[in-house]
Amino acid sequence: MPEPHVASNREPHRVVDMLWLPNTTMDVSTGSHWPLVKIVALPAAVATVGLGLKELECRIADLNDRLRKSENEKNALNDEVRKFKAEIIRLSSTIQKANEENSKLKQALRQEQDAKVGAHRTLEKEKKEGERARGAHQQEVGTLKQQLEAKKAETAEARGELQRSQSKLTEVTTLLETRTRELKGAQVFLTTADAVSGAEVISHVDALNAEILQTCAFISDSFDFARKPEHADEIKEGCTRISDLMGNSMTHLLSTVQHTADPLLVQIALQGATVEFSRWIIMTWDFDGLQAEQQLSEIYNDIRSTETQAISGRWRALTRAHAQKVALQHDDLHSTMVTHISDTLVVIMVAAGCTKNYDDAYREFTQKFGERVSNIVKMAVRLNKIIGEEVTSADLWPTHGAAGEKFDGDSMEDFEGQSDQAGKPVLCTTALGLARSEKLAATDTAEFKYAVLKKPKVALESVADGLEREEVSC
């Protein structure tokens, strides 16, 4: 029987060989697996002490637990190491970025400091320049103040001179205005130029006559005539008014001649009344606004006989212009004249036996012919201004044939164009004429040159010869 093998110091590997365990572990540093018993091999003294197997196993288990704890701690430490490494990497990156940012900031700071130094130097330089400029400015201000004081003195002197000049200019201007007014006043009386020619005046008269003829013809044709007993009182009153205006002959003919078939006599009467009223408008000095017609006419006749034509003509123009300016301040003057002539024409038709009473006839008349009568008044007023103010080299006036006057072919025309009417009595004027008078050069006696520029047209009493009559009388 072989002898039991006793381990000795010279064969320690055998004890180790007997302690192989299936457990293995990984080397932390290399990651390779090695037999656990290599790490936990018991010292050779344990075999010699003769520990029991069970005790040995307990110690091995204890060591393995400790080893596992160490392994766990090692793994935890490895995790911490990895975390620290990652943190170190992150911190390194942050530090690097911080260093880079710090470098940039240092560089920016250096640039800022350099700029500040440069700015400070520039500021110091500008400050010195500003001090020099301020000194120069103060010196310049002092100089300018001296110049300003000098200018103020000059201005005060100039202002005084200006005031003296203005005072002198005012005196000269006042004198000039006075002399200008005197010159204008003298020119007014010295000038002999007319604003319109004689031919233009004749043209205006012709236009007025034509308007009167057409209007009166339309009026007489627009109304019917047949005497009615119920209008007897109005007819009688109309005859009375017509007698005062146009004379007894016209009144008698209007009341006795039949106008139903041919209202010619009515037309003639209307023309005669309109012409007479227009003649008054043309000749009036003040439209009776000043109630000084007679006085102004007498004064003018005296001036005309003693002064030159230029002076008397200008006096007439100025007096008539200013007299009418006062009279024409009344806005209703025109309408008053239109109303007056319209009333007269309606009264003539009533006296002639119009089939309408006065009120109805007047209403219809104003509706149909009010505008035409207004136009006649305007044309007559225009002739008043032309003859009274715009012609001063001579005196012009409208001519007419008075009722009852003997017909004179040298100064008038028959409205029917007949030439053998000499000596026959005039019934009324149907169209205005125009005459001219000019004072000759100053002599011991006043001499005037007369001329007929246009003859008036007249209707004779014989116009009613052959017309149908009736035994009616006003």
254-278 pLDDT, tens per residue?
988 888 888 999 999 999 999 999 9
39: confidence class by pLDDT, cuts 50, 70, 90:
very low
pLDDT over 60 at 125, yes or no: yes
For the chain, the maximum distance between any two Cα atoms, rounded to a whole number of angstroms, is 218
Tokens, residue 396: 């012009």
End-to-end CA separation in angstroms for the chain: 210
pLDDT at 264 (0 to 100): 93
pLDDT over 70 at 79, yes or no: yes
Give dist(CA 259, CA 251) in Å, integer. 14
Average pLDDT over every residue of 285-307: 86
pLDDT at 11 (0 to 100): 42
Ranked by mean pLDDT, the top range of 19-28, 394-403, 433-442 is 394-403
Closest CA to 415 of 399, 432, 398: 432
pLDDT at 361 (0 to 100): 95
Percent of the chain with pLDDT over 70: 84
Tell which phi-psi region holds residue 51, choosing left (phi > 0), alpha (psi between -120 and 50) or beta.
beta
CB 213 within 8 Å of CB 431: yes
For 242, the enclosing helix (H) or strand (E) is: helix 232-246
Q: Which residues pair with 257 in a beta bridge?
A: 469
Give dist(CA 61, CA 23) in Å, integer. 11
Domain boundaries, the chain: 198-464
pLDDT at 40 (0 to 100): 44
Query: How does pLDDT run across 139-157, given as a tens digit for each residue?
Result: 888 888 888 988 899 899 8
Give dist(CA 271, CA 145) in Å, integer. 91
Give dist(CA 392, CA 195) in Å, integer. 9
Residue 138, classified by CB atoms within 10 Å of its CB into exposed (0-12), middle (13-18) or buried (19+), is: exposed
71: confidence class by pLDDT, cuts 50, 70, 90:
confident
pLDDT at 181 (0 to 100): 74
Give the residue with greater pLDDT, 193 vs 26.
Answer: 193
CB 337 within 8 Å of CB 345: no
Average pLDDT over every residue of 4-25: 42
pLDDT at 182 (0 to 100): 65
Lowest-confidence region among 15-24, 167-176, 192-201, 427-436 = 15-24
Q: How many helices (H) and strands (E) does the chain have?
A: 12, 8
Ranked by mean pLDDT, the top range of 65-79, 186-200, 210-224, 309-323 is 210-224
